[in-house]
């Protein structure tokens, strides 16, 4: 298998990880039957809001995350969008809504669909930074990898002692986040990046030593790409 195919394989692993197939406790694509009925999915602040009857932003955000937890992603999307139509929301409520919308769209339709929403929240929200980084990695462009590194470092992951803990059930573990950064460092291949990649993947594999997890697949990919000393 050549280097290009190996890279594409790892991008696919990260894509499925972000979309809910990792080991991080997310709800994946599970849907309670029947899913809470809604009348539109939208992509951020426009379109049919679904008419939940609730008008308090914090209550709507909490309710949307509860829907998300049970796999009712269409309902969650509508509620996050509904918050974004409320003119009196605070900046923090806006950030929380865009982050939730990004992850709801990701679980529903793939990480690329959450790109715009993650961008709106990534200046201050670590979950959104992780989501946006995954979308950029999936695009497979070097400039995007550099931006993904900046986002993951802004989370704090460049410090190997840092532990990422999500506030919401987005399905990304600390080990998976460090493994993503390891892959990005090795792909960028700048001065010192190989050592950084080693440090990051060693942290990830020490925490998640399963043979068939996303972390294990990224570890094996890095070995196949030529990263030694791991």
What domains are there in the chain, each with its CATH number? 1-25+123-225 (1.25.40), 27-121 (no CATH)
- The closest alpha carbon to 46, from 76, 84, 18, 92, belongs to 84
Q: Which two tokens stand for residue 2?
A: 């050549």
CA angle, 188 as apex, 182 and 191 as ends, to 5°?
A: 95
What's the pLDDT score for residue 212? 84
Q: Which two tokens stand for residue 45?
A: 């602040």
Helix, coil or strand: residue 124: coil
What's the pLDDT score for residue 224? 86
What's the pLDDT score for residue 21? 46
What's the pLDDT score for residue 160? 97
Q: Which two tokens stand for residue 144?
A: 């995007």
Helix axes 193-207, 214-225, angle to 10 degrees: 150
What's the pLDDT score for residue 15? 52
pTM for this entry = 0.82
How far is 173 from 107, CA to CA, in rounded Å? Answer: 16
How far is 204 from 219, CA to CA, in rounded Å? Answer: 9
- The closest alpha carbon to 29, from 86, 85, 92, 74, belongs to 74
* Residues of the chain scoring pLDDT < 50: 1, 21-50
């Amino acid at each position: 298998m050549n280097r290009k195919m190996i890279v594409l394989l790892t991008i696919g692993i990260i894509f499925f990880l972000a979309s809910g197939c990792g080991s991080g406790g997310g709800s994946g694509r599970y849907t309670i039957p029947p899913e809470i009925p809604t009348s539109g999915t939208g992509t951020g602040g426009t379109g049919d809001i679904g008419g939940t009857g609730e008008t308090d932003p914090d209550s709507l955000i909490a309710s949307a995350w509860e829907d998300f937890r049970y796999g009712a992603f269409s309902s969650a999307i509508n509620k996050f969008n509904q918050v974004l139509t409320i003119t009196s929301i605070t900046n923090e409520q806006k950030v929380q809504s865009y982050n939730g919308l990004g992850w709801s769209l990701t679980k529903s339709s793939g990480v690329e669909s959450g790109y715009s929403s993650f961008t709106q929240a990534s200046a201050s929200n670590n979950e959104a930074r992780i989501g946006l980084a995954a979308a950029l990695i999936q695009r497979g462009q070097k400039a995007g990898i550099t931006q993904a590194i900046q986002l993951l470092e802004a989370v704090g992951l460049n410090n190997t002692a840092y532990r990422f803990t999500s506030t919401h059930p987005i399905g990304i573990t600390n080990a998976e986040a460090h493994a993503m950064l390891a892959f990005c460092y090795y792909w960028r291949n700048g001065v010192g990046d190989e050592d950084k990649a080693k440090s990051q993947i060693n942290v990830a594999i020490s925490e998640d030593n399963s043979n068939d997890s996303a972390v294990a697949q990224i570890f094996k990919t890095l070995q196949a790409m030529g990263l030694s000393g791991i």
